[in-house]
A and B are shown apart, each in its own frame.
Chain A
Amino acid sequence: MTISLIRFRSRPSRQQRRIMGPQSALTDFLASHNISAHQIRLDADARRRAAQEGQGEQNNENNESNDPASAATPTTTPAVSGNPAPAARGRRATAASRNEEEARNKEKNAIEKIKASKKFQKRKRHVDSDDEDDLARALLQSSAPLPGQQENCENCGKRFTVTAYSRNGPKGGLLCSPCSKELDKNDAAARKKKPKRATGGAVGVRRQLQSSILDGTYTLGAKSLMTLCIETLAKNIDLAEDLGDLPSPIIDKIARKLSKLRLLDSRTLSLFLQPTAEEVQIYDGAKLNSDDYIRIFQVVPGLKKLKVRNAIHFKDTVMDYLISRNIELEDLYLHGANLISEARWTEYLQKKGRFLRSLRVYFTDKHFGDSVLALLPRTCPSLNRLKVCHNQEVTGAGVAAIAKIPTLRHLSLDLRNDVHSDVYVDLLGKIGTHLQTLSLTRVRDADNTVLDALHAHCRSLVKLRITESELMTDAGFARLFRGWANPGLEFVDLQKCRQLDSAHPRENPDGIGLCSDGFRALMAHSGRTLRELNVHGCRHIERVAFEDVFNVNNNNNNNVADSGETVYEALAKLEISFCEEITDYVVGSVFRCCPNLRELNVFGCMKVRDVRVPRGKILVGVPNARGMVIEGDDDEVRQ
């Protein structure tokens, strides 16, 4: 018996595998991890046989232990203490003693294993025994019978067949299926209680509502079927293997939803890579690695537009791959790709820049600087849109280089370095005529000369943003908008253009920032076309100016035609937070004058107390206890 066992042990497992015919993928995988399915089956069979033998022994006391079959028990199941054949003779005896030692070792190992197991730790907590070894041995002895065997239920004492799904009872024994179901029911009841407490009734609902209002996703009535489907899909994305041939706008929506839930990773990325697509938009690439980015170019060879946010692992290797392939990107949008070196940017622009029509680079601190921008005029002859946001490297020299790109239509700069006004004036003089978008965020040093240059050169501007200027004055803004040959703007953001002096916060003798006259001139010039206006923090605009602009003739309340009120048809979003002079009356006038207004922000307007809000409009930021949002329920206001 021992001989057969030794032979069984010593047989090289590799040889065994070689004899076998075609194998399943699982077998291959296990084999690569040095696990043999055959070996496992043999072990299990031996154990089962031994256990049966053991049971037979228990039933029949007369069965002597010198039965040759029972001698196998100690070697295969360490649970039964080593009790080798009494006949200790010659070679067999040595084999037996070696056998015993082996069994003891095995038991020791098993005990160690049990000590490390979760079950043991749990039990230890319950029993509070000092002697770990004893406890572990007790566990070992009571170790559960294998699936397929018969066992008595710990709870009701009935005999039943053990399966892989049999549950453990509280004392460590096994339970029959009716008893486990009983236990399951209790568990389920305990589990159900918890989430109920977590989602709090009315407060949770209100919070959700306000969150959706601030997200801009608030609507009265039911969600659209598409939104419902996309939400369901995002919840169950691990079940999806392929999105099929959905139209690309829908795929884009799914991508947005998934990114919002932080579910975009290597696996889910494949759902969005369609070989025929020209556009890939990744809204959260934080979980993707360099290989994933390379995979994008492999799977989608006809890529024209690429947008990646949080593209942390979009590094040199990815750039190298992109440069080496025949991919002609027209639109590149990279957010947070700080690991691309300046050399790669240079190489990319030199090799592939001629295809680029739009280049947007966000949140880079070192390697996207003046020298890269200096390449643009030569390498990108058809560049139409350029956006450099939150950049710590670009200085005035870089901005001066941008002025040499005559094809530019849309320019957005959000730089950390201060750039002198002269640079902007020069830029506007050279390329200002055709600019449709100009966005200068955080330009502390820009002064009225920039505004005058805008007035003199820009003729096709649609979107204008100048924020946080501390030098521009009211007179400058008024000069810009009065008699400007540029058609009405659709988007204006002049937030935080205001006087900053902590010693005299109220006084503004020099008229710094956007004040009353500038605001009047702005609305006179662009009021009809404006869709979005942001004058956040322009706190020196007086109440009179607001009342002039949002003019309602109170005496003719019932007759709109005669009242002579100004109507701003297009305005959909207005931000007047921290304009101190705003009152209830002004807010009411705004609602009357802007029939298509969707959202009005009035954070920090402390004189707004109690306004009637028309139905379907949103007023955000009212300083009252109801929270910050009022969704109107007043239908009568426009009569």
Chain B
Amino acid sequence: MADSKYITLISSNGFEFVVLREAALVSPTIKGMLRGGFKEAQTGVCEFPEISAHVLEKVVDYFHYWYRNRDKENVPDMKIPVEMCLELLMAASYFNLENMPVARPLQ
């Protein structure tokens, strides 16, 4: 489980999202949870009791959107529903999605 390609994110109301590990690692918060000897690192399951399903769904959307476009130029912007804007902003701050890591570090 610990070294699976996928991890599971659980929202406040119990919805589970199975996400590509590499995509989810864009978030330093999740990266930190999956490192070291935490429970999350062993089980590959992260619970977010503060985040509701519809916000987490959008965040997971973003993870994959970022992963798909990580090497591309001129990436079209992802649509953010206006009514969720502030909630997503809070979530973005929680997941530390502020400064994106450099797409591919130089060898």
Contacts and interface: CB of A to CB of B under 8 A. Distances in A.
Interface in A228-281: 228-233, 236, 239-240, 243-244, 246-247, 250
Contact of B100 (A222, A246, A616): A222
Nearest to B101: A221
A504 interface: no
B73 A225 contact: no
A233 B103 CA distance: 26
Given A209-B74, A246-B93, A220 B103 contact: yes
A208 to B, nearest CB: 8
B19 to A, nearest CB: 14
A615 B107 CA distance: 11
A638 interface: yes
Contact of A228 (B77, B93, B102): B77
Nearest to A234: B85
A390 to B, nearest CB: 32
B10 interface: no
Contacts of A226: 89, 92-93, 97-98
Nearest to A638: B106
Contacts of A219: 100, 102-103
A18 interface: no
B86 A244 contact: yes
Q: How large is the interface on A (under 10, 10 to 19, 20 to 34, 35 or more residues)?
A: 20 to 34
Interface in B78-101: 78, 80, 82, 85-86, 88-93, 95, 97-100
B71 interface: yes
Contact of A233 (B73, B85, B98): B85
B103 A224 contact: no
Contact of A246 (B70, B89, B104): B89
Given A228-B77, A595-B106, A222 B93 contact: no
Contacts of B65: 222
B93 A250 contact: yes
A614 interface: yes
A171 interface: no
A595 B102 CA distance: 14
Contacts of A631: 73
A223 interface: yes
A219 B66 CA distance: 12
B75 A221 contact: yes
B93 to A, nearest CB: 6
B3 to A, nearest CB: 25
Contact of B72 (A220, A239, A638): A220
Nearest to A205: B74
A326 B53 CA distance: 46
B62 interface: yes
B92 A243 contact: no
B97 A224 contact: yes
Given A205-B74, A221-B66, A221-B70, A615 B93 contact: no
B100 A230 contact: no
Given A232-B80, A232-B85, A244-B86, A221 B93 contact: no
B103 A616 contact: yes
Nearest to A245: B90
A221 B69 contact: yes
Contacts of B90: 244, 246
11 contacts: A220-B103, A222-B70, A224-B99, A225-B88, A225-B91, A233-B85, A244-B90, A246-B89, A246-B90, A616-B102, A616-B103
Given A205-B74, A222-B100, 19 more contacts: A219-B102, A220-B73, A220-B102, A221-B70, A221-B75, A224-B99, A224-B100, A225-B59, A225-B88, A225-B92, A226-B89, A226-B92, A228-B78, A229-B88, A230-B89, A232-B85, A244-B86, A246-B89, A615-B106
Ranked 6 nearest A-B pairs via Cβ? A225-B97, A232-B80, A226-B92, A225-B92, A229-B89, A222-B69
